[in-house]
Amino acid sequence: MGPVSNIRGGIEQSRERLVALVLLLQRAWSDGRPLTQEEIIRELKVDEYPVSSKGPKKIRAYEGNEGAVRQKFERDKARIRDLGFEIETVTLPDDSIGYRVDPASGYAPVIHFDGAEQRVVQLSLRFCGFGSSGAFSVFNETPASEGGLEFSAYYTPVVRALRMRRALRFGYQSSTNKDREVEPLVIDVLNGISYLVARVRGSGEIKGYRFSRMTSMPEVLAGTFEVDDEVLELARAWRAEFQKTPTPIDVVVTTNANYADLLVRQYPAALAATKKEGKVEVGISFQSPRTAMRFVLEAAERVRLQSPKSLRVEMAEWLKAVNKGKVPAQDSLKFSAPTSSDVLGETLQLLHAVYLSEDGLRISELATRFNLSREHVRLIMDRLSSLEPMAESNDGSGLFPAHVIKDCEDWDHEETDDSTYRADFIDEFDEPSALMWRDLFELNIALREASRVYTDPAIYSAIAKIEEVARDFVQVELANETLLSQVQAALDRHEQITILYSPGSADEAGVRSVEPREIKVLNGRTYMRAYCTTRKAWRTFRIDRINEIVARSPVLDVRPPDEVVNWLTQVGEEGEEVVVVVEAYARYLFEPLPSSQWLALADGRHAVRFRVSDKSFLDHLMVLAGPGAIVATEKFASSGHELARRIAASL
């Protein structure tokens, strides 16, 4: 047996051991008999892999010296907790310690969507999903594309704690990484970023915590807490500001008619007035000086700030410090390799997709949904169908919750047959849920986002079913994209539309004729993938940069295939690698970047590595970050300097 077989054998035995352990501990909950570590180590058996004998051979899951076995068991418990399950420790009558897993800590109650609701769920997940790590593959037969929102395993315990009104403890990275104890009130999704809004335990202060900055799996604490309607209203009114006491500020800028039109649509309360030489004066109120300054910096050279004077002074100081500061030694910027997919999570996704399918799923169908090879699917599902952990101690596997039946049309050639796997439940009360709590969160978000496009009663009935189970635990601040429904209608009718479009930092809108093919959401923005007949190529457009749809007509020509599969996150996969060092307060600008990697430095700052295919994007990013960030990659050391100089000259 070669080294590759040894490695794969270790992975597969680890997979079966983990799956057997988590499902066994779930059964221990329903049986009311917690299992001790000694029982598990002594009796838990798995199939040998790779197979060394003619027939299947059962071996002990935990073998080796006592110290190694104990360490392996503790690592397995940690990996189960990292998936969102709560392992309960119980002191037994003989003072020994037993373990069990409450299935409700990870899985929500069974929800049955009718045909119309199933259809809108599929549509919604295509529009605004979390990619292959989320619920897409459970409901859609096609492969999951890249995710439009940030996925987090941390949603599972947070949603459960919200439902049960129990406090949470988790590690959190702000200026320092330390544990927080909070009473969760609501999950708020603002511009595509997920926050837990919670009351700080013991102080009564209401704060928001980004899921992307949580550094450990939230632990659901014992005991419940009380909350009244007034506190809930305060939590729902919370916004991600940059200072504790926001002071409203009125800003007046001048710009051209094209950009003024975009601003009025983006800020419905804005006031606009036409001035001399075609200029337009726009007035907008902001919640704080910091948000006002970000607005002006994002507009860059497209606007000229008229008032207030205090903001001009603050901006001048800000611009002087763009991309300037101390760069850390290069040998301190060592990023860890991306983590591989979790074998336990991957296996449970396959298992619960089969649970949800009334007629079962073929190997080919599972391979397509989860973007796996058929051999990989067959290997995982065959081992699930033969899983009998501690069969002697539990009266066989017939009552085991992971009982999977394999139907094979050609048993003589089983190794190549496109077999079907289905779940066999004794009665309806044994039917497990296919949805983890985090899946309900994802479905809720996707349905709410889709409601901007589709006026279908099934969307709201599906949301009602979710919230009946999980309560109204999430609120979404929807983007103001007035032309979105018109673009979606053109996509549905397979039409070509002629649009006035303002790309990037351009002052004027240009005419484009495009044929929409797909719409998705990323980081709070909605994007359209379309064939551009003006440029004779596939292009990606931001919906909020479309000024007007001026014409529409049927699509008559056949277009070349789009060679870019993950067009939504292409910015994270193409271009040159850049490392930026940021202060903790400036992290929020870089966290939404697709495929970004983070590293904590000894001086308290953070390094982020990502890719850019357009230098002007990095220039604008560094201007927004101001004194909080510096580029550590030598080639881009001057990024933002010239843009900051031009903006300062216009103040």
Cβ-Cβ contacts under 8 Å for 133 (sequence gap 6 or more): 147, 151, 345
List for the chain the helix, strand, coil content (%; round to 5).
40, 25, 35
- If asked whether residues 575 and 527 sit together in one domain, one would say no
Q: What is the rounded average pLDDT of the residues 530-534?
A: 94
Domain assignment present for residue 544? The answer is yes
Q: Which segments of 471-511 does DSSP mark as H helices, in order? A: 484-492
- Is 469 part of any domain? no
Task: Quickly state the pLDDT bin for 361 (edges 50, 70, 90).
Answer: very high
Single residue among 89, 104, 119 that ends a domain in this structure:
104
pLDDT of residue 49: 65
Note whether 618 and 578 are within 8 A (CB).
yes
Q: How many domains does the chain have?
A: 3
Q: What is the mean pLDDT of the chain?
A: 85
Report helix, strand or coil for 644: helix
Q: For a pLDDT cut of 70, what percent of the chain falls above it?
A: 88
Same domain, 531 and 586: no
DSSP class per residue in 379-392: HHHHHHHT--TTGG
Same domain, 504 and 581: no
Does residue 609 share a domain with residue 527? Answer: no
Question: Of 547, 564, 581, at which residue does a domain stop?
Answer: 564
In a domain, 521, yes or no: yes
Question: 546 and 603: one domain?
Answer: no
Among 564, 579, 609, where does a domain finish? 564
User: pLDDT category, 1, cuts 50, 70, 90?
Assistant: very low
User: How confident is the model over 291-336, as pLDDT tens digits?
Assistant: 899 999 999 888 999 999 999 999 999 999 999 999 998 888 888 7
- Using CA atoms, how far apart are residues 18 and 423, in angstroms rounded to an integer? 20
Same domain assignment for residues 20 and 75: yes
3-state secondary structure 285-313: EECCHHHHHHHHHHHHHHCEEEECHHHHH
**How many C-beta atoms lie closer than 10 Å to residue 347's C-beta?**
20
The pLDDT tens digits of the residues spanning 345-360 come to 778 888 888 887 888 9
The answer on 582 and 556 residing in a single domain is no
Nearest to 347 by CA among 376, 386, 374, 390: 376
Domain around 76? 1-104
Helix (H, G, I), strand (E, B) or coil at 52: coil
pLDDT at 431: 63
> Model confidence at 614, in pLDDT bands (50, 70, 90)?
confident
Lowest mean pLDDT among 192-196, 252-256, 432-436, 618-622: 432-436
Residues 59 and 92 reside in one and the same domain: yes
User: What is the C-alpha separation between 74 and 71, in angstroms, rounded?
Assistant: 5
Q: What are phi and psi of 422, to 5 degrees?
A: -140, 155
Instruction: Supply φ then ψ for residue 24, to 5 degrees.
Output: -65, -40
Residues 15 and 79 in one domain: yes
Stretch (H or E) spanning 46: strand 45-47
Assess whether 16 and 97 both reside in one domain.
yes
User: pLDDT-derived band of residue 54, with 50, 70 and 90 as boundaries?
Assistant: low
**377 part of a folded domain:** no
Sheet containing 510-522: order of strands: 537-542, 525-532, 510-522, 495-501, 546-554
Q: Is the pLDDT of residue 265 over 90?
A: no
**Which of 311-325, 399-413, 543-557 ranks highest by mean pLDDT?**
311-325
Residue 70 lies in a domain: yes
Query: Which stretch of 126-135, 386-395, 537-546, 579-588 has the lowest confidence by average pLDDT?
Result: 386-395
Would you say residue 622 lies in a domain?
yes
Asked whether residue 56 is assigned to any structural domain, the reply reads yes
**Other beta carbons within 10 Å of 489:** 15
In this structure, the number of other CB atoms found within 10 A of the CB of residue 449 comes to 24
Q: Are residues 616 and 590 in the same domain?
A: yes
Asked if 609 and 547 sit in the same domain, the reply is: no
In a domain, 526, yes or no: yes
DSSP state of 339: P
Residue 544 host element (H or E): none
Higher local confidence (pLDDT), 505 or 266: 266
Q: How many other C-beta atoms can be found within 10 angstroms of the C-beta atom of residue 83?
A: 18
